Amino acid sequence: MQYALLIENLRKRGFVPFFADSVEKGRNIVLNLIPKGSVIGFGGSVTVEQTGILDAMKADYTLLHRSLFDASEHEQLFQKMHVADWYIASANAVAETGDIINIDGRGNRVAEMLFGPKNILIICGTNKVVKDINEGIDRARNVAAPKNALRLNKKTPCAYTGECSYCLSPDTMCKATVIHHHPTGDKNFYLVIINDSLGY
């Protein structure tokens, strides 16, 4: 796949994309972009964990990441993330058309991307780049959700079959589908696309 078109279309829509040809370069882009001392909230993301960015940031930033807090503090943590300087997460898919696709169960991740911190940063492997919105929704339901359901021990059909059956399970992780066509409000919305397979 050619990524030049993806980058061009993201720019046309008002996003600020970067392309890194390795995880290390992607990590450096993030570290150069975010001023030291910033307070940063994080959406749950295997991609973000695989980049090693948490360890790289620990000394110079205030990190609001669930893994760094006791479970009893998580609800309060979500409130703090809402007013953080930055919010870092991944996406379920990024389309060549420049659209960003996410499906959420709790909704905190998409809520922050839409109406949370002023600066949003998506880190995404090229394994999540798709042709268009439909392919992105398909990827979210048939690639990302089954693997996340297994990881999080959710009792959903996709956890057993690996495919979406548009379930009505109380455990469904697909409660809201959000497609970013443009950044909302006056947000700075950055994407670091890494030429590697990361996360789900």
Chain residues binding ligand SF4 by CB under 6 A are 141, 145, 149, 156-158, 164-167, 169, 172-174
Q: Which is nearer to ligand SF4, 64 or 140 (CB)?
A: 140
**43, 20 Cβ separation under 8 angstroms:** no
For 163, the 3-state DSSP assignment is coil
Q: Which residue has the tokens 């030291």?
A: 36
Q: Where on the phi/psi map is residue 146: left (φ > 0), alpha (ψ -120 to 50), or beta?
A: alpha
Would you state the torsion angle of the CA atoms of residues 170, 174, 175, 176, taken in this order, to the nearest 10 degrees? 180
Q: Which is nearer to ligand SF4, 33 or 46 (CB)?
A: 46
Q: Which is nearer to ligand SF4, 171 or 196 (CB)?
A: 171
CB count in 10 Å sphere of residue 115 = 11
Q: Which is nearer to ligand SF4, 29 or 164 (CB)?
A: 164
**200, 144 Cβ separation under 8 angstroms:** yes
Q: Which is nearer to ligand SF4, 101 or 191 (CB)?
A: 101
Distance CA 110, CA 102 (A): 7
Q: Minimum Å distance from CB 169 to ligand SF4?
A: 6
Q: Minimum Å distance from CB 106 to ligand SF4?
A: 13
Q: Minimum Å distance from CB 105 to ligand SF4?
A: 8
Q: Where on the phi/psi map is residue 91: left (φ > 0), alpha (ψ -120 to 50), or beta?
A: beta
Identify the helix (H) or strand (E) that includes residue 63: strand 62-64
Q: Minimum Å distance from CB 55 to ligand SF4?
A: 31
Q: Minimum Å distance from CB 155 to ligand SF4?
A: 10
